[in-house]
Amino acid sequence: MKIVSAKVVVCSPGRNFVTLKIETDQGVYGIGDATLNGRELAVVSYLEDHVVPCLIGMDPRRIEDIWQYLYRGAYWRRGPVTMRAIAAVDVALWDIKAKMAGMPLYQLMGGRSRDGVMVYGHANGSDIAETVEAVGQYIDMGYKAIRAQTGVPGIKDAYGVGRGKLYYEPADAALPSVTGWDTRKALNYVPKLFEELRKTYGFDHHLLHDGHHRYTPQEAANLGKMLEPFQLFWLEDVTPAENQEAFKLIRQHTVTPLAVGEIFNSIWDAKDLIQNQLIDYIRATIVGAGGLTHLRRIADLAGLYQIRTGCHGATDLSPVTMGAALHFDTWVPNFGIQEYMRHTPETDAVFPHDYRFEAGYLYCGERPGHGVDLDEALAAKYPYKPAFLPVARLQDGTMWNW
Ligand code: GCO
Ligand code: MG
């Protein structure tokens, strides 16, 4: 069996996606996602110029060997561009293998560990009152877990507050827009949001919050401590994780559960955090961390320490990643939660899929493969549009972490 073609499709049905379609000499094809938000074309070039020529003629059944070939063989290891390209190939090959086996992907991975995949949605508003209302709407839709982000008075476009309610899209400008940040104001305001949420809705639902890398370790510890009475499911990316040691300080001061890893691209990014038990949930995901082949290794390492998975699932991860993630989530023994930001109807039409939402859970389908396809004719109607993520600056103009 041979790979006869590998095509990179760029489309923008509401937002940009990079998709890889691998075709074989036996007519079976596989689909992988390679989207890197705000830096999409770098991965297109990496795939078209440096990966696709090597794939032609290879045996698509040798998933592990092809992974090692692309990882070790490049000499230049890791990084978001390389690992997304590898992920796209890997997921397409798992799709092919599962289709050939006539099985949904989760069966091939080891079978079902749970009935449904608990997901969390994104509720946000420009202030506490609006956010409390938005959380209520998610509860009404049946969600068991909700991430709550609020605008903060005095901060211009604080992180996580979208223009729309159901579809929040941060990469929205042809050049990066400038947002503001002020840690003092956020520390004053965010705990009040969670106090209000618990007062209004009680303690039955899981509540999550994303710090989006804004706080120093000491400030993060302070926030975690202030949030303790409100029993969060997790506090995410509360400080940047390049220095994994930083989490020791946070851990010493708070029992609020910590989640990290949506920007991780290999097991090495997470190794110290996991082995020193400094986090509770690992956010690495399929498209970010080298595909299923590599993500399952991260999950297995985490499992040794009772750390659970919480795959990134923002809209910049295409339905292909969502579909594959749901098969992974259905199998992985140490599953925690899955992020679910809904795609627009335009996106859903370009990527026909068989997963479905019901009462706070997503369910993967039973079709052979990962269950997500690409409608190429429809995709061609939505050409690429440059779109950057915003940047953040402090009140005095200093560049900060977005
Ligand atoms: C999340 C995220 C995202 C990212 C986005 C960047 O927790 O879902 O932080 O919304 O900001 O994926 O491309
Ligand atoms: Mg996040």
> Ligand 1: which of 119, 212, 321, 337 to mutate, judged by most atoms within 8 Å of the beta carbon?
212
> What proportion of the chain, given as a percentage, has pLDDT over 90?
95
Domain range for 102 is: 3-108
Would you say residue 399 lies in a domain? no
What is the tens place of the pLDDT at every residue in 240-250?
Answer: 999 999 999 99
CA of 237 to the centre of ligand 2 (A): 6
Q: What is the pLDDT of residue 245?
A: 95
CATH number at residue 71: 3.30.390.10
- Structure-token pair, residue 347: 């996106």
- Shared-domain flag, residues 342 and 354: yes
Residue 143 has pLDDT above 70, yes or no: yes
pTM, two decimals, is: 0.97
Answer whether residue 167 shows pLDDT above 80: no
339 lines ligand 1 (CB under 6 A): yes
Residues 114, 78 within the same domain: no
Q: Is residue 163 scored above 80 in pLDDT?
A: no
Q: Which range, of 72-81, 167-176, 183-192, 344-353, averages the lowest pLDDT? A: 167-176
pLDDT of 162:
77
| Range in 41-45, 140-144, 165-169, 295-299 with the lowest mean pLDDT | 165-169
Dihedral angle of Cα 148, 149, 152, 156, to the nearest 10 degrees: -160
Is 80 exceeded by the pLDDT of residue 166? Answer: no
Band (383; pLDDT cuts 50, 70, 90) = very high
Domain annotation covers residue 237: yes
- Domain check: are 117 and 19 in the same one? no
Q: Tokens for 42?
A: 């770098």
Ligand 1: residue whose CA is nearest its atom 2: 314
In the sheet with 399-400, reading across from the earlier edge strand, the strands are 178-181, 391-394, 399-400
pLDDT of residue 164: 66
Check pLDDT > 70 for residue 217: yes
The alpha carbon of 259 and the centre of ligand 1 are apart by a number of angstroms equal to: 13
Q: How many domains does the chain have?
A: 2
3-state secondary structure at position 329: helix
Say if 383 falls within a structural domain: no
Point out the catalytic residue in the list 205, 206, 212, 343.
212
Residue 99 sits in the same domain as residue 243: no
The answer to whether residue 212 is catalytic is yes
Beta-carbon count within 10 A of 255 CB: 11
159 catalytic? Reply is yes
* Residue 232, pLDDT above cutoff 90: yes
Give one word for 202, left, alpha or beta, with left for phi > 0 and alpha for psi -120 to 50: left
What distance in Å separates the CA atoms of residue 276 and residue 256, rounded to the nearest whole number?
17
- The per-residue pLDDT for 170 is 87
Tell which residue, 72, 22, 14, has the closest CA to residue 47.
22
| Residue 104 sits in the same domain as residue 118 | no
Establish if 104 belongs to a structural domain.
yes
Domain shared by 93 and 238, yes or no: no
Buried b or exposed e, range 176-192, using 16+ CB within 10 angstroms: beebbbbbebbeebbbe
What integer best gives the mean pLDDT of the chain? 97
Strands (E) in 136-184, as ranges, are 145-150, 178-181
In the predicted structure, residue 207 carries a pLDDT above the cut 70? yes
Mean predicted confidence (pLDDT) in 80-98: 98
Tell whether 198 and 262 lie within a shared domain: yes
Answer yes or no: is 382 within a domain.
no
Q: Tell me, what's the pLDDT at 67?
A: 98
Same domain flag for 149 and 66: no
Last residue of a domain, which of 48, 81, 108?
108
pLDDT at 159: 87
Kindly state if the Cβ of 37 falls inside 6 Å of ligand 1.
yes
Per residue in 316-353, pLDDT (tens digit) is 999 999 999 999 999 999 999 999 999 999 999 999 99
Across 108-122, average pLDDT: 98
What is the arithmetic mean of pLDDT over 123-145? 97
CATH number for the domain that contains residue 174: 3.20.20.120
The pocket of ion ligand 2, defined by CB under 5 A, consists of 210, 262
